[in-house]
Amino acid sequence: MDIFAQLLAGFQEVLSPVNLLFALAGCVLGMVVGILPGFGPPAAMALLLPVTYVVGPIPGIIMIAAILYGSMYGGTITAVLLNVPGEPSSVATTLEGYTLAKQGRGGPALVIAAAGSFVGATVGIVGMVLAAPLAIAVVGLGARDYFAIGVLGLSLVVGLSGRNVVKGLVCALIGLAIGLVGLDPVLGTPRFTGGMPELFDGIDLVAVVMGLFGLSEMLIGLEHRATSGRLTKLGRIAPTKEDWRRSVGPMARGSVIGFFTGLLPGSPGTAATFFSYALERRVSKGRAQFGRGAIEGVAGPETANNSLGIATMIPMFTLGIPSSVTMAIMMGAFIVHGLTPGPLLFRDHPDVAWAIIASLFVGNVILLVLNVPLIRVWLYILKIPYSILFALVVGLMILGAFLVTGAAFNILVLLVSGIFGYVLRKLDVPLAPIALTMVLGSILEENLVRALLLSDGDVGTLVGSPFSATLLTGAVLVLCSAPLLALLRTRLERRRARLMAAPTRAGETTSLPTTKSS
């Protein structure tokens, strides 16, 4: 049968009252989970799995999927309004979003974020309908290709460093160092764990991100806001025509970046938002405004994040491979009903498969409709007296850190990284590179080792596939591009002694062009 006829049948199924109700419930629950820092969708999805036994596969899975993408809308709110990212993927949004909020432009930032989320999700869904062959093609990518993706990601650190590239590079190293803690991915030997089994899996990314970015921000706030009690003015909500116009490009690029990152089963998913941010910082029309509140820095990452969220479902739907924890839970929901995700699902149970795909679109419409009017409500967060807000947010973060693994150890991680982040903020150090390299570190290491094991130690394998060769060349180009080099050079002159370890000093000397950030 024709794909579109099946898709239409899927929409018909979803628009039944029961399915709509479950989609709505999932969306609302997802948004709540997304808003609360540290509360990830996996816990909510897993806890609601038993509901699917009762209500049957279609409404059950619709709800579970809705929790996942609903949480992506919710995660933006604390990131933009409070500079508190609840998960690694919201970090990039805080960079420009919070600056905008401080200028009283939190409303437009949230509207653009919601619109971007919707655009990203829609592109992801269209891609999902059309991209089954693509998903099968990317299975051919191996360890060296994922290593190349990691290297390309690493080259973006400079773009995330703001005014101070040197400090950014130091932070990148800190992030990589944090990523080294845990069991060696090859030998299984504990590294830097001090004999604590809690550290065997490494330092938890969610707890670190909440501490480093969120808790440190709340601590900074204590310095001057505890008495004044107000954060900022609310400002208008609707974005200007100018905002919309400037967001079109970032949304288009963001949805493509997110889609392809999600499609690859072994790729560093959360890094997509950083990729988008770093790209916009260099290519968008408003790049000069980055660091001082550029709407592109919200539109791009938010779109990428939602496009990614939908695209991660593609390997599960088309191949039966769950590429993340949340996908593993969704796959569980299929399996308990005797449904096998993968090509067989489309052959044996096309009604279920297409109903769920159609529900993704319907759910995203629900979220858009819910979100835009709610922004007015969210903005009132800014009116809560800081003493109360501090207690609420920090309390929720502590609870969230505990819930990540159910162990109190992560509360300690949260508090320590909060204090660490506070010190770094005081030193005016850009924090984003830490989050990026923490995400990329393990992917780089594992895939490098795996590639070398598979090639019997031959380093040439790393550029042995067209895909990896292209990406590695891209990474070199990014690093060597003129303005960044010039920027590095000015720093070099000033602090030569400290910079002996700076990784990029290759060739090229250009006269100092005016760069966006110097």
Q: Which of residues 48-67 bind another protein (CB under 8 A)?
A: 49-50, 53
Q: Which region, judged by CB under 8 A, interacts with another protein, from 173-181, 220-228, 365-373, 494-502? A: 220-228
**In the set 15, 32, 336, 368, which binds another protein (CB under 8 A)?**
336
**In the set 5, 8, 18, 47, which binds another protein (CB under 8 A)?**
47
**In the set 14, 68, 141, 298, which binds another protein (CB under 8 A)?**
141
Q: Which of 292, 309, 252, 294 is nearest to 276 (CA)?
A: 252
**In the set 68, 80, 131, 319, which binds another protein (CB under 8 A)?**
319
CB 335 to another protein: min, Å: 6
Place of tokens 């590695």: 472
**Residue 407 binds another protein (CB under 8 A):** yes
**In the set 398, 424, 435, 472, which binds another protein (CB under 8 A)?**
398
**In the set 5, 56, 200, 292, which binds another protein (CB under 8 A)?**
200
CB 218 to another protein: min, Å: 9
**In the set 43, 180, 372, 463, which binds another protein (CB under 8 A)?**
43
Q: Which two tokens stand for residue 60?
A: 């059950």
**Residue 108 binds another protein (CB under 8 A):** no
**Residue 417 binds another protein (CB under 8 A):** no
Q: Which region, judged by CB under 8 A, interacts with another protein, from 19-27, 245-253, 427-435, 451-459? A: 451-459
**Residue 86 binds another protein (CB under 8 A):** no
**Residue 188 binds another protein (CB under 8 A):** yes
Q: State the Cα–Cα distance between residues 30 and 70, nearest whole angstrom.
A: 4
Q: State the Cα–Cα distance between residues 279 and 38, nearest whole angstrom.
A: 27
Q: State the Cα–Cα distance between residues 46 and 296, nearest whole angstrom.
A: 35
**Residue 253 binds another protein (CB under 8 A):** no
Q: State the Cα–Cα distance between residues 443 and 465, nearest whole angstrom.
A: 18
Cβ proximity to another protein, 5 vs 325, nearer residue? 325
Q: State the Cα–Cα distance between residues 159 and 430, nearest whole angstrom.
A: 11
3-state SS of 40-107 is CHHHHHHHHHHHHHHHCHHHHHHHHHHHHHHHHHHHHHHHHHHCCCCCHHHHHHHHHHHHHHHCCCHH
Q: Which of 280, 278, 283, 282 is nearest to 295 (CA)?
A: 280
CB 203 to another protein: min, Å: 11
Binding string to another protein for residues 338 to 357, with x set by CB under 8 A, is what? Answer: x-xxxxx-------------
**Residue 139 binds another protein (CB under 8 A):** yes
Cβ proximity to another protein, 200 vs 380, nearer residue? 200
Q: Which two tokens stand for residue 345?
A: 């699902």
**In the set 23, 114, 143, 310, which binds another protein (CB under 8 A)?**
143
457-516 positions binding another protein, by CB under 8 A: none
365-384 positions binding another protein, by CB under 8 A: none
**Residue 249 binds another protein (CB under 8 A):** no
Longest CA pairwise span in the chain (Å): 69
427-446 positions binding another protein, by CB under 8 A: 442, 446
**In the set 130, 163, 201, 240, which binds another protein (CB under 8 A)?**
201
Interaxial angle between packed helices 241-263 and 271-283, expressed in degrees from 0 to 180 and rounded to the nearest 10 = 140
Assess contact for 39 and 398: CB atoms under 8 A: no
Backbone angles phi, psi at 190, to 5 degrees: -65, 135
* Binding residues for another protein, total number by CB under 8 A: 76
Q: Which region, judged by CB under 8 A, interacts with another protein, from 4-12, 191-199, 248-256, 294-302? A: 191-199
DSSP code string of 317-338 = III----SHHHHHHHHHHHTTT
Assess contact for 123 and 263: CB atoms under 8 A: no
258-317 positions binding another protein, by CB under 8 A: 265-266, 315
**Residue 42 binds another protein (CB under 8 A):** yes
Binding string to another protein for residues 146 to 185, with x set by CB under 8 A, is what? Answer: -------------------------------------x-x
Q: Which of 70, 76, 135 is nearest to 84 (CA)?
A: 76
Assess contact for 26 and 64: CB atoms under 8 A: yes
Q: State the Cα–Cα distance between residues 482 and 484, nearest whole angstrom.
A: 6
